[in-house]
Amino acid sequence: MGKMWSGRFSENASALLDQFNASLNFDRKLYEYDIKGSLAHAKMLHAQGILNDQEYRDIVEGMRKIHDEIESGKFVFDISDEDIHMAIEKRLTQLIGDAGKKLHTARSRNDQVALDFRLYVQAHNEIIRELILNLIDTFLSVAKKHASTMLPGMTHLQHAQPINFGFHMMAYASMLKRDYERFESSFSRNNFSPIGCAALAGTPHPVDREMTAKDLGFEGPTLNCLDTVSNRDFALEMLFNIATMMMHISRLAEELILWSSSEFGFVTLSDAYSTGSSIMPQKKNPDVPELLRGKTGRTYGNLIALLTVMKGLPLAYNKDMQEDKEGTFDSVETAEISLTILNEVIKTMSVNKKRMEQACKIGHLSATDLADYLVEKCHIPFREAHFITGRAVALAEEKGVDLSELDYEDLRSVDERISPDVLEYLSIRHSMNARNSEGGTSTQRTLEQIETLRRWLESKKES
């Protein structure tokens, strides 16, 4: 059986062309979506009187057999079939005869691949969103457990102000919430059916695009057929959303790598999610966060690759667009395994509270509190208070102690307007809890943030 499009050709395609032109080696991943879309199309053709009852029954039964063959590994994938659409259609015709040839009435591979690929992206959008919710749930549990666990907050990777570890975890939970909302927005914006657009301009056959859209779970059909078969925005949005999410994951991965080092010692990663060295028996390497950090670059590359493919294409479909799938498949699979394993890493890591609190006594983290004290209690202009605090820090450096460890006489020697109650303000824990503005790091505000995000999480799980 020759190629289904070969009627106007007098020569067979070369084996080299088959190898270069084919997408079957990777787009076979779309088989479930191709079968699902074909069944919806056949149902609509039957309802419109284009397929008779027997033809429709034969197509349904043939598609069931093909699905079983692919699932069991018995289906023969032949590169000369070019893509999954032709492979399934050819096999259907082998199984049921001429009825299989009628299935392609009122559609083109252009709207067929647009449908299959969109169904794939939409399905994995939902999977990724569920995995994000699971990870947020884990962050909330860790944050609640450590809403009073002291941690040095940093800017420029230098000790800045005391915070709590739960507050730090909530920062990542907040990033993931935005990631979820991006995927959710993309799903809604792209939940429209391409099928029925045919090659680029619609079809003269009496199709019912509303019917197929409803059967396939879409909100409705797409608006303009020329745009529809040319459009890969849904894939680009998926790639962008994944790349942004992986950027957030990579930032956390970097901190896990630092925190688990001997120099920090803030966390210990589970043996189940660490590896050893082939030559140094004492080593315990944070390979999971390192790989998460590294895989982020792959997702960036996949996004840029598809943007580059699409940037110069005239309307409508062009063969260049065959390059849309491998990068998308790769990013989707990377995102799903990354979210899954990161969830386990966070669940199973140990937090060294004592080491974190000790680190809060390095770097004079309560310096801002002394300046605020001078402004509030002594009515000193902030710039002067900033200068006085700098002198107090210099004294602490000279004495080899943290600012919070200076006694009252030391502080009064810097400025006689300072009163004994200053010592309370310089307490590291007081400093953390003093930041009680909305969104701040105090234990009270951290717990409020956890509760707010918990309510949001439950609403998403229920919807």
Dihedral angle over CA of 339, 240, 27, 108, nearest 10: 140
DSSP string, 175-238: HHHHHHHHHHHHHHHT-EE-TT-TTTT--SS---HHHHHHHTT-SEE-S-HHHHHH--HHHHHH
Q: Is 6 annotated in the active site?
A: no
From the candidates 156, 262, 278, 437, which is the catalytic residue? 156
Length of the chain: 463
Question: Residues of 404-428 as b/e, b for ≥16 C-beta within 10 angstroms?
Answer: bebeeebbeebbeebeeebeebbeb
Determine contact, residues 365/160, Cβ cutoff 8 Å.
yes
> Helices 109-145 and 31-47, interaxial angle, to 10°?
130
CB atoms closer than 10 angstroms to residue 164:
26
From the candidates 14, 261, 277, 350, which is the catalytic residue? 277
Quote the strand ranges of 264-345, DSSP E.
267-268
Q: Is 156 annotated in the active site?
A: yes
Residue 255 one-letter amino acid: E
> Is the link from the previous residue into 40 a cis peptide, with omega within 30 of 0?
no
Pick from 135, 85, 109, 86: nearest CA to 336: 135
SS3 category, 279: coil
Tokens of 1: 């059986």
Determine contact, residues 458/409, Cβ cutoff 8 Å.
no
CA dist 83 to 22, 28, 113, Å? 6, 7, 10
SS3 category, 82: coil
Enzyme catalytic residues: 156, 277
